[in-house]
Amino acid sequence: MIVDDNPVHLELYRMIVEQAGFRGVPVLVSYRGMQLPHDEPVDAVLLDYRLGPHISGYDAVLQVKERYPSAPILLLSDLYDLPSEAAPHVRAFVRKGNPEELLSTLRGILEKPM
């Protein structure tokens, strides 16, 4: 699953993961919040941390963990470091703009479940 508030970024990340052989389920965060799917199997979550004024990245992390407690979260951000409040809830952190690192990290997460 891919969570972002920017439809262009959401489509870009979906294309990146699908070209690598994964299935990307997009979740657009809007002024109405985040509508997580109920009937989709979720093996991992790519989550943008800066989601605009309607929901904080930390709140999004908590909502995802509540709905999909066993799905590892890979946090995507233009921040330089993993935010400390999110650290206990996420498996990995990748800065935006490096699709090779994103895919490598995603593969590693899926190969080594916690």
Q: Which amino acid is at 8?
A: V
The top-level CATH class assigned to 2-111 is: alpha beta
Q: Are 46 and 1 in contact (CB under 8 A)?
A: yes
Q: Would you call 48 helix, strand, or coil by DSSP?
A: strand
pLDDT at residue 68, rounded to an integer: 93
Euclidean distance between CA atoms 52 and 75, whole angstroms: 15
Q: What is the pLDDT of residue 113?
A: 60
Where along the chain do its domains lie? 2-111
Q: What does the pLDDT read at residue 51?
A: 85
pLDDT along the chain (114 residues), means of 10: 94 95 92 83 92 85 92 90 88 92 94 68
- pTM, to two decimals: 0.90
| Segment holding 93, helix H or strand E | strand 92-95
Radius of gyration of the chain (CA): 13
Q: How far apart are CA 25 and CA 38, in angstroms?
A: 12
